[in-house]
Amino acid sequence: MNIHLKLFLFVTWLVCILPARAQDQSFIYADVVLKNKTTVTGVIKWSGGQILWTDILQVSKTDPLALKYLKKYQLEKLPGTKEEKEGIDWEFMNLWKDKLPERRPEALCRFGDIVSIHVTGNLDAQIFYKSGSKLRVTANADNVDLGRSITVYGFKTEKIAWSNISRINFRETGEGVLSWKTDPLYGTVQTRNGSVSGLIRWDKTKFSTSAALYGKNGKRTIGIKFTQIKKISKKNQGATVTLHSGKQVFLWDSRDVSALNRGIIVADPAGGQVTVEWQAFQSVVFHKQQEEPISYGSFETPRRIYAQAFGSDNRILKGNCTFDMDEEWNFEMLEGTSNRIHYKIPFRNIAAIIPQNEKQSNVILKDQRSLTLSNENDVSGLNWGLIVWLKNSRYEYLPWEKIDKVQFR
């Protein structure tokens, strides 16, 4: 047996017996099955830069979903349809022949909620969720999450073309030895709306302790590794950086520490994802994750959205719910903005939604926090309403303008 084969067998043995470090568990891990029947295993970096279980896959749904249950007059009243611009044929069989709706339903989900992704076309895929449900999707207008190469970090780094992939099977990051050693950024961010804790992406792209924070100090630009940083506090036109040693450094004139920052993303399985604009950011303290770090297993098995809807016509409907005519599972996410902070909240974390007017709604979370959110279909007059599924295969539709309040179980 030659030395190269012995080395290969030894490394393979190590893969089998050595668990990943606790912090490593926060990175997406999968078996990538190629069309040539081989499999590449390791940490996955998706085409849109997603590498953490809390990162979001954002695609468009291709199925008509619950719209097929609406009557002609109900379809005509949906906001954002082409009917507002031109006369169309409203027969159901023509419904999805590029006629209605102009707004295509989006699918937002964290990688931690996905079991596998089956590649079905150049820009298409079928997603299998932990709920046991599946969904056919296509690339959205931005076209960053489907149809492009992904990177696998195993014993070596491999970039794999979308066209070569058959299926991606996600699993716990508990096997194997990563080819690089870095921890994800984790901490507590103080904002205008209070504090939020979770995995952090600084300037949307910097997710690990090996990355550096850049800015001018005096007349020169310096970079400080996040491993050295305890706290960042916004100050004047820059930020004061407090190191673990106690030393403080003022940085300015860079995208990392100015209004040019693209946003500080904070995410955890229960709370969802929060993107804090620089104007709303106050400070961040970095610290270790809790005793059980965020991992693939941190994402609960989903269940159907169950709602009690109170209508302005005195109707009270109880049952499984399809919200905005396309969200059916409690891992799916509601979007809205408040005080220059953008929220993507899984329905499992929402206690109630109370429409306020055409532009905004009051969203009450299960931890009793209350947010007034706007700027998105989910919380405004652009919402398509909801269907509540009753007993004996019956259902009732409630348009958004007739909803006083929706409570979730």
Question: What confidence tens digit (pLDDT) does each residue in 160-189 have?
Answer: 999 999 999 999 986 555 666 789 999 999
Spatial CB neighbours of 250, under 8 Å, sequence gap ≥ 6: 217, 235, 238, 239, 240, 241
Whether pLDDT at 355 is above 70: yes
Q: Which of 366, 211, 197 is nearest to 290 (CA)?
A: 197
First-to-final CA distance of the chain: 62
More confident residue, 46 or 292: 46
Q: How far apart are CA 188 and CA 285, in angstroms?
A: 5
pLDDT at 393: 84
d(CA 38, CA 89): 49
Strand ranges inside 29-119, DSSP E: 29-34, 39-45, 56-61, 106-110, 114-119
The dihedrals phi and psi of 189, each to the nearest 5 degrees, come to -105, 130
Confidence of residue 319 (pLDDT cuts 50, 70, 90): very high
CA dihedral over 209, 211, 215, 221, signed as positive or negative: positive
The whole-angstrom separation of Cα 136 and Cα 156 is: 32
Residue 112 phi, psi dihedral angles, 5° rounding? -70, -15
What local confidence, expressed as pLDDT, does residue 291 receive? Answer: 74
Percent of the chain's residues with pLDDT above 70:
87
| pLDDT of 156 above 80 | yes
pLDDT number for residue 21: 56
**Residue 13: pLDDT over 50:** no
- pLDDT at res. 82: 53
Residue type, 320: N
194 class by beta-carbon count within 10 Å (0-12 exposed, 13-18 middle, 19+ buried): exposed
pTM, entire model: 0.89
* Residue 247 pLDDT exceeds 60: yes
Label residue 64 by pLDDT band (50, 70, 90): low
Q: How far is CA 35 from CA 61, 120, 134, 144, in A?
A: 25, 12, 21, 22
pLDDT at 93: 39
Kindly tell me if the per-residue pLDDT of 81 is higher than 70: no
pLDDT band at 144 (very low <50, low <70, confident <90, very high): confident
Mean pLDDT is highest, among 21-25, 193-197, 391-395, for 193-197
Q: Tell me, what's the pLDDT at 89?
A: 44
Averaged pLDDT, 81-104 = 49
AA letter at 40: V
- Compute the distance between CA of residue 373 and CA of residue 341 in angstroms, rounded to an integer: 9
Give the mean model confidence (pLDDT) for residues 352-373.
96
What pLDDT is attached to residue 182?
85
Closest CA to 137 of 129, 195, 146: 146
Residues 322 and 328: beta-carbon distance below 8 Å: yes
Q: What is the predicted pLDDT for the residue at 389? A: 95
Q: Is pLDDT at 36 greater than 80 in this prediction? A: yes
- Check residue 100 and give its pLDDT: 54
Mean pLDDT of 129-145: 90
Q: Enumerate residues 6+ apart whose C-beta is below 8 A from 292.
A: 298
Q: Is 382 a residue whose pLDDT tops 80?
A: yes
Phi, psi of 85 (to 5 degrees): -115, -25
Cα separation, 330 vs 47, in Å, equals: 26
